[in-house]
Amino acid sequence: MVGGRAGAGDRGGSKSEVCEALDRNVGAMTVRHNRCAFCFADSEEFPLLTAEHLLSRPVASSFGIDRTATFARFDEDDSQIRWTTVNGVKRKCVCAACNNGWMNALEHDMGRVANWVDAGSAELRTGELDVLAAWSVKTHLLLCHIEGRAGEFGDSDEAVVPPASAARAVYERRFSDLDGLVLGLAANSSDTDFAYEFGTPGRVSFGDQLRGGRTCPVSIVSVGRLQIWILTPLPLDPEVRVADGVRAAAAGLRFEDLTAMPAIGNRASISINYRADWPLG
Ligand SMILES: [Zn+2]
């Protein structure tokens, strides 16, 4: 059984506000429709983008997930339910070289993380944490495109801010640059073996002013018995609060020490307070 849910939350915040914040903080690496979301290849006139599956065959296999199972995607705002299969959740936003190269290797490397989950009492090694962080960023970026319209960022007030600098760090294997990533872990306690929730935090503020949630896309992904929480706030010294029990991903962590949580995470429990000066003064 699998399930997913996507919700808009309190988006808002003007386009220019978010664009300028990005310009000043992450170099405005806006991801365009026809660019690879990871390496930004756009040298060809019509670059060939390939479809990347949210859940790949190797990861489904190592975590024991049936990719052909029917999958319900809930849209919070209009209460529509779209039926599809896990295999059908994909997006054309990755170039063939990335898809067939390092991303394919990463999907296979996730088997090491599955082994850590299965072992229960084993400590998470640094190399496994790097794989887990890279896969989480990859999956989060895909969800930003599939559910958060990240490909339209700059053109649409609805689009979330794509985590472009984290994606680039994964592509260049600069894992130490992912240290600031908000990556949390829990144990998926339900029978649902694949589920995701995507959206924005329950609260995003700058001091006592509420700000647009789309500056901090959130993905909560249950893959087998592991639940991954990943948030990518703007680098404005964010103070981050997530649900009680979610542990920060770190080397040395044991799977058996993670807190059991429902398959669908509670995005509303997340709050972000940006403490740095807001770029627009
Ligand atoms: Zn690429």
Summarize pLDDT for 99-140 with one digit per residue, the tens: 889 999 999 999 999 999 999 999 999 999 999 999 999 999
Ligand 1 centroid – CA 28 distance (Å): 18
pLDDT band of 23, cuts 50, 70, 90: very low
Ligand 1 centroid – CA 221 distance (Å): 23
- Which residue has better confidence, 246 or 191? 246
pLDDT of residue 207: 82
pLDDT at 146 over 70: yes
Ligand 1 centroid – CA 226 distance (Å): 28
pLDDT band of 193, cuts 50, 70, 90: confident
Say how many domains are in the chain: 1
What percentage of the chain carries pLDDT values higher than 70?
77
Please identify every residue whose CB atom is under 5 Å from ligand 1, which is an ion: 36, 38-39, 41, 95, 98
Segment 226-243 shows an average pLDDT of: 92
Residues 6+ away with beta carbon under 8 Å from 159? 148, 149, 150, 151, 152, 153, 214
pLDDT band of 276, cuts 50, 70, 90: confident
Ligand 1 centroid – CA 51 distance (Å): 12
Strands 247-248 and 203-206: unpaired
Segment 177-187 shows an average pLDDT of: 88
C-beta atoms surrounding 25 within 10 Å: 14
Helix ranges (DSSP H) in the chain = 15-26, 57-63, 96-100, 102-119, 126-146, 164-171
pLDDT of residue 140: 94
pLDDT at 26 over 50: no
pLDDT band of 185, cuts 50, 70, 90: very high
Domain span holding position 75 = 2-274
pLDDT of residue 153: 79
pLDDT at 191 over 90: no
pLDDT of residue 34: 67
> Quick check: is 281 in a domain?
no
In terms of phi and psi (left: phi > 0; alpha: psi -120 to 50; beta: otherwise), the region of 76 is: alpha
pLDDT band of 76, cuts 50, 70, 90: low
Ligand 1 centroid – CA 238 distance (Å): 29
Ligand 1 centroid – CA 153 distance (Å): 18
> Quick check: is 227 in a domain?
yes
The answer to whether 40 and 29 are in contact (CB under 8 A) is yes
Ligand 1 centroid – CA 101 distance (Å): 9
pLDDT of residue 33: 53
- Which residue has better confidence, 74 or 222? 222
**Signed CA dihedral, 205, 211, 216, 217: sign only:** positive
What is the chain's mean pLDDT, rounded? 80
Ligand 1 centroid – CA 93 distance (Å): 9
> Quick check: is 137 in a domain?
yes
> Quick check: is 280 in a domain?
no
**Can you give the pTM of this predicted structure?**
0.83
pLDDT at 79 over 50: no
> Quick check: is 279 in a domain?
no
> Quick check: is 239 in a domain?
yes
Ligand 1 centroid – CA 98 distance (Å): 4
pLDDT band of 87, cuts 50, 70, 90: low
> Quick check: is 140 in a domain?
yes
Residue with tokens 């969800």: 143
> Quick check: is 18 in a domain?
yes
